[in-house]
Amino acid sequence: MGTPFFDSLAERIAAVDSVVSVGLDPDPDRLPESVAEADLPRWAFNRRIIDATHEHAACYKPNAAFYEDADGWRALRETIAYAHGRGVPVLLDAKRADIGNTARRYATALDDPSDGGLGADAITVNPYLGRDALEPFLQRTDAGVFVLCRTSNSGGADLQDLELESGEPLYERVAALADVWNRNDNVGLVVGATAPEELEEIREAVPDLPFLVPGVGAQGGDAEAAVAFGLAQRERAVGGDGTGDGTDEVRVGLVNSSRGIIFAGEGARDPDRYFDAAGAAARDLKARLNRFR
């Protein structure tokens, strides 16, 4: 059994002084010419992005939608392994959930590659099918499970804002359920940055769950609110011998930007300048968020 995900994430956040999650969404139609002729263009692109941004990244978040073909899965495995080689955890944005054997198969993305998995450290899941559909993820004590709660897209209100008989919106019930499901201290929530008032409400309801906050960057989310309400206090063991002879506290959570970082260099003719722009965008977002930490 490995180190629990949120403990590893706390260490990473402290080490790089950053809560930036870099979304690795290598849209084939937007990849630069410098990687287009590679054997695995998405892997070649991600490798350069990781090289440029790893000093500022608390986590990488590849979205499974950009890898769902034979070459894509190869690229994703290489990407996760390379990120780990740089000491950065990986959160697979897959939004999975299903029943029975299907859910158990989805959860194998968290298995080690030697056991046929992808080696992801955490995953996003959809709560719509209820707890039994999420159980194969929740029982992975060393893996993080981020439950979709209040998303950034405009259509999210179609269901998430529905008022229950209790008077609470559905997204608040999801947050409360996630808190109950957190028996292994491995559950977080996905809460978008485009509705800061809702971010604050959810944080008040579940003070101890870390959030993954998308929508900062190309979607124009509120960076101050993302930091103020997206991070949860967590104790961290510290000690000169590495075993931890005391504790301190670190605020744990992730604020994600995908297109705003990885495609920051679009328009640059020189490959180095293209990827340098991604590094600068990650550095700038880190500095912007740290003003509010």
Catalytic machinery residues: 95
Burial of 278 (C-beta count, 10 Å sphere; 0-12/13-18/19+): buried
Q: How far, in Å, CA of 95 to CA of 106, rounded?
A: 10
- Buried/exposed code over 106-143 (b: 16+ C-beta within 10 A; e: otherwise): bbebbeeeeeeebbbbbbbbebeeeeebbebbbebebb
**Rounded-to-integer distance, Cα 110 and Cα 90, Å:** 10
Query: H helices within the chain, ranges in order?
Result: 5-16, 33-36, 41-53, 70-85, 100-106, 131-138, 157-160, 170-181, 196-205, 223-230, 259-262, 271-290
